Amino acid sequence: MTQNADSAAARSLAFPGNDGKPHRVTWDDKSLKIDGERLTVWSGEFHYWRLPSPDQWRDVLQKLKASGFNAVSLYFFWGYHSSKPGSYDFSGIRDIDRLLTMAEEEGLYVIARPGPYINAEASMGGLPAYMTTHGGEERTADPQNLAADLEWLKVVNRIIGKHQITDGGGSVIAYQVENEQIDNAPKHVEYIEKLQAVVEEHGIDVPLFHNDWGDGHGYNVPGGPGGSRLDLYAFDTYPLGFDCKGARGKLSDFESRIRGYSPKTPVFIAEGQGGAFTSWGRDFQSGECAKFVDEAFTRQFAVNNLANGVTMFNSYMEYGGTNWGWTGDPGSGFTSYDYGAPISEDRRITPKLAVHKEFGYLQNAVKPIASAQNVTPPTITSTGGGPVKAQQRLSTENAEDTSVSGNGMRLITLRHPDSNDTSTSQVTFPLDLADPPKAATSASAGGNESGEDKNSAYRRIPQQKNTAISIAGRDAKTLVADYAFGPHRLVYSTSQVLTQLDAGGDLLALDGTKGETGETVLRFASKPKVTTLDGAPVDVTWDADRKDLRLNYTHGDARTLRIAGGGKELTVLITDRDAVATTWQLDAGRSDILVLGPELARTARLSGAQLDLTGDTRKPGPLRVFAPKNVDVLTWNGRRIDASRDDTGALVATLPGPQKPTMPGIDSWRTADSDPEHAAGFDDSGWKKADRTTADNPKHGPGEASGVVLDTDEYGFHEGDTWYRGHYTPAEASTTVKVSAKTGTAGHALVWLNGRYLGAQGDGTTTHKVPDGVAEPGKPAVLAVLVRNMGHYEDWSSDGRSKTGRGLADVAVPGSGKVRWRIQGAAGGPEPADTVRGICNNGGLYGERKGGHLPGAPDSSWRTTQSLKSERPGVRWFRTETELRLPEGSDTAVGLRIADNSARADKYRVQIFVNGWNTGQYVNNVGPQQEFVIPSGFLKERGKNTIALAITAEQTGVGPDSVELVDRGTVLGGVSGGQNESPGYRELLGAERSRGQ
């Protein structure tokens, strides 16, 4: 399969976002509309910088689309593109134009969120690090900051603007201005209003909105303060909270509150909890957040949101990814930003994705949901367990066509009132189609059991004796009633409608929990003929008075029924929630199709009698496809496969599975010291002087004792490690050195005096003792300090925390006299030497400046070793080459695991480079992350890979016990793609070997 084949298949999708025509985006209080047609926006959040493998952006986008998402929400990370004022880089891993094009090709609408401030657990909340040097307040109209913000918006809007659906350029349907303004203080209102005006001037004409924080506070509503040019009101909500080992928060109703803020716009969740981030030093891995924000919550949340009229929803995160290099904010996260999201950091599908699929498919299939309004719920009768909360919505729009009774489709939702209740309850309720429920605000009671049309009044649902609807613990249900689709009339179902489509015949798919009973009633003019085509039999009851066909069954045994009667045959597929994971509805161009069986069905294209499918398998297994009747050639990932038709008329075949790759072992390393800067005699004369005595940002100094500004950002060094050397001639013997370092959470600094190690420290102030004889009066002395910058803090509450400062704040050496400081950081400073990997890849370690992380670096004179343990405190470099032979046509997730038995007692950290790419940071004494996902764009799947480790030890004899590559899972399939452009030593440093000491 080639890249072209991938996108060609995608381009055949009939989708307003890629047909080249302009489209109108409007809205009312119920939903967004494209060309007047209602759209429930079902979106997943994806951060391109957290998947530094642009070829694989398509993988994630295809997984979203196949799982029923119709939109993707994208933050844009300004600081990732801009290393100095006026300079912007959108090449390679930063090519957002390519990303937006891919989203169009894959049939996804885009919600664009370019900030300027985004939060997002990104370093400095997305702002470029050089803005820390500005004096004024960020996220206000302070002239210097505002000028920078507007310049970014101009540059990024030039790209986003080309992809708007409104002029036929692409699939961007909405645009967020700023993020979570904390209040409506005049300075914030003024600022956000200015941004809105400029965004309009830049030609952005899709609906504008802001993301109001913490369940919504009514800030920045359209027409209100800070919202005069906004079109939609949106808010974020994380009901469970962010402590993945803590107690779960509870769900509640919010519709009337939100409508009170903004009565004329749809209920729009700009970020709804899809997982949670994990921070340094926690006692659990990010996988714990997948258990905390689990499938049950995900379903409950979706059900509660439907009950509250949400028709625009974005799951944050749907794919979390990796805080590679120095992209992360130290306050909230370590390298993995897996987030416990439905698509894991290594791009694998987790069971949660199937829950989102249920609701994506449901809203796509049952269009009246987009216009349904809150009405009085049915009266619930408990037949066991505790109380159950019912809510109901009614869609009266086009009710004649979309409902059985003509009164309107109903959506009934059920859950325990306490969303954390784990008991099981059984309920029944009456339903009367002839008596539509009243608006929820009206005083009248719902459920009129003496409706005039007795044939439409059901005293008790389910009707089948000895059955009831179960709510097992944190489960929740969405039931569709009074719904007509085409000639078919669904009176109600106690199962969930998974989808209905025409796939070579009309098909209705229903799912439910394995082991639970389901009851589905369809209405016909006369008794239809029901044939069980496969699977276990179903209890079929014909109610001649009502003209109802009632089906009773237990979920778990899949079955297919064909019902003939009422003009057009209907195939009913009764499945269960587990099977939803491997059920895929795809747009094949001429028709939709339904694919059952594989781990993933990505794309489908019909041409004549041929159906081309792409997808992934984790093991060999059956494939079943409901497709137009004329299809007689089936291909899978470009190869023809033998297929026949089963009793249901579906195409069936067997799909191959992947080959298991063997991971190469790592037996030895080449090693060398990598911190000559610590030694007294090191020549730092080429370094920048750190001698400024003023800084616009008062948090940056000058230091009280040093009298100079030492902050790294003031000297153009924004990321990773920075070295300082301070020269002085003491008047009296130095006995202490007091160092104030600003590292960010979990950072550290190492201090040497005249080449003698004084010790290490974290963020804050530490007084280091100087042993006798190390610095003597009248003799020149040199202090060497290495400070790690863990990234810049966010500015979540707009309090200027992001401008805290990094590097040294101050150093006091009693009796030192004047200290002359020099500073050295990442090669090139604000003009990164490695423009391909970009500003976030490197700090200023000696090995980084010398290219020791790059493929092809000269290490032949280095010692060979098996041990990764330190011989003294300081920085040591390790390199090895390892040959990968990953199977072709497969997608293998490769990880790197660091093993250590010291129970976090040993103090050291490892910066991991794979083929020159800064893959992540291991901090043994902080934790918790032991295993690092290697983004596939960093790897050469078949060939030699260079792994380099920069180990900074605070002690002697510490370091990893071992480092190994691990297979985190393989599928046969994947999208085409390869290694990113990955310049090596020769390309980057070959001509200039002696660069930058």
The residues binding ligand GAL (CB under 6 A) are 118-121, 179-180, 211, 213, 236, 271, 277
Q: Which one-letter DSSP state was computed for residue 8?
A: H
Nearer to ligand GAL, 278 or 955 (CB): 278
Q: Provide the 10 A C-beta neighbour count for residue 931.
A: 18
Judged by beta carbon, residue 119 or residue 220, the one nearer ligand GAL is: 119
Cβ closest to ligand GAL, residue 149 vs residue 271: 271
How many of the other CB atoms lie within 10 Å of CB of 134? 18
Distance (Å, whole) CA 864 – CA 876: 13
Q: Which two tokens stand for residue 127?
A: 């702002």
Helix, strand, coil proportions of the chain in percent (round to 5)?
A: 15, 35, 50
Q: Which is nearer to ligand GAL, 192 or 570 (CB)?
A: 192
Residue 78 or 724: the one with the smaller Cβ distance to ligand GAL is 78
- CB nearer ligand GAL, residue 319 or residue 687: 319
Nearer to ligand GAL, 582 or 802 (CB): 802
245 token code pair: 């080992």
The CB-of-215 to ligand GAL minimum distance in angstroms stands at 10
Burial class (CB in 10 A: 0-12, 13-18, 19+), 450: exposed
* Of residues 180 and 900, the one with the C-beta less far from ligand GAL: 180
Q: How many CB atoms lie within 10 A of CB 774?
A: 19
Asked whether the beta carbons of 14 and 105 are under 8 A apart, the reply is no
Closest separation between CB of residue 73 and ligand GAL, Å?
Answer: 11
Looking at the Cβ atoms of 180 and 318, the one nearer to ligand GAL is: 180
Residue 973 structure tokens: 């399939």
Structure-token pair, residue 66: 């196949």
Element (H, E) at 530: strand 529-535
Q: Give 727's strand partners.
A: 782, 820
**C-beta of 213 vs 922, nearer to ligand GAL:** 213
Nearest distance from C-beta of residue 790 to ligand GAL, angstroms: 17
Q: What angle do CA 920, 925, 927 make, to 5 degrees?
A: 50
Question: How big is the chain by its Cα radius of gyration, in Å?
Answer: 31
Report, in Å, the least distance between residue 211 CB and ligand GAL: 6
Of 92 and 218, nearer to ligand GAL (C-beta) is 218
Residue 126 beta carbon to ligand GAL: minimum distance, rounded to whole angstroms: 8
> 3-class SS at 367?
helix
Question: At its nearest, how many Å lie between ligand GAL and the CB of residue 341?
Answer: 11
Specify the 3-state DSSP secondary structure of 33: strand
* Least distance CB 114 / ligand GAL (angstroms): 13
Assess contact for 204 and 230: CB atoms under 8 A: no
Smaller CB distance to ligand GAL: residue 182 or 472?
Answer: 182
Give CA–CA dist 139/187, Å, rounded.
9
What is the crossing angle of helices 96-105 and 3-11, to 10°? 50
Question: Residues 587-592: contacts with CB within 8 Å, 24+ apart?
Answer: 587/13, 587/14, 587/15, 587/107, 588/627, 589/12, 589/13, 589/14, 590/628, 591/502, 591/503, 591/504, 591/627, 591/628, 592/501, 592/502, 592/503
Give 143's contacts (C-beta < 8 A, 6+ positions apart). Answer: 136
The label of the residue with tokens 């924000």 reads: 293
Nearer to ligand GAL, 120 or 655 (CB): 120
Distance of closest approach, residue 290 Cβ to ligand GAL, in angstroms: 15
- Which residue has its beta carbon closest to ligand GAL? 119
Task: For residues 961 and 833, give the distance between their C-alpha atoms in angstroms, rounded to a whole number.
Answer: 33
Using the minimum distance from each CB to ligand GAL, give the nearer residue, 118 or 469: 118
Q: Which amino acid is at 926?
A: V
- Nearer residue to ligand GAL within complex by CB, 67 or 119: 119
Question: 169: Cβ–Cβ under 8 A, 6 or more apart, which residues?
Answer: 161, 162, 163
Shortest distance (Å) from residue 116 CB to ligand GAL: 13
Give min distance, CB of 297 to ligand GAL, in A.
16
Select 55 or 236, whichever has its Cβ closest to ligand GAL: 236
Task: Considering the complex, state which of residue 156 and residue 774 has its C-beta at the smaller distance from ligand GAL.
Answer: 156
Per-position DSSP letters for 345-360, written without gaps between them: TTS-B-HHHHHHHHHH
CB of 340 to ligand GAL, least distance (A): 11
> Which of 314/583 has CB closer to ligand GAL?
314
Min separation Cβ 179 and ligand GAL, Å: 5
Min separation Cβ 318 and ligand GAL, Å: 13
Minimum Å gap between C-beta 337 and ligand GAL is: 9
Q: Considering only CA atoms, which of 134, 91, 111, 98 is closest in space to residue 39?
A: 111
Q: Report in angstroms how near the CB of residue 202 gets to ligand GAL at its nearest.
A: 23
Strands of the sheet with 764-769, listed across from one edge: 764-769, 736-742, 807-812
Q: Smallest gap, in angstroms, from Cβ of residue 794 to ligand GAL?
A: 7
Query: Rounded to an integer, what distance in angstroms lies between the CA atom of residue 779 and that of residue 624?
Result: 83
Angle subtended at Cα 914 by Cα 908 and Cα 919, rounded to the nearest 5 degrees = 60
Minimal distance, residue 242 CB to ligand GAL, in Å:
7
* In the complex, least distance from residue 270 CB atom to ligand GAL, rounded to whole angstroms: 8
- State the Cα–Cα distance between residues 783 and 788, nearest whole angstrom: 16
Which residues lie across from 644 on neighbouring strands? Answer: 652
Nearest-CA neighbor of 755 among 790, 734, 779, 785?
A: 785
- With 0-12 CB in 10 A as exposed, 13-18 as middle and 19+ as buried, what is 656? middle
Joined together, the tokens standing for residue 187 give 């300075």
Nearest to 316 by CA among 62, 49, 117, 73: 73
Residue with tokens 């106690």: 494
Q: Is the dihedral of CA 869, 875, 880, 884 positive or negative?
A: positive
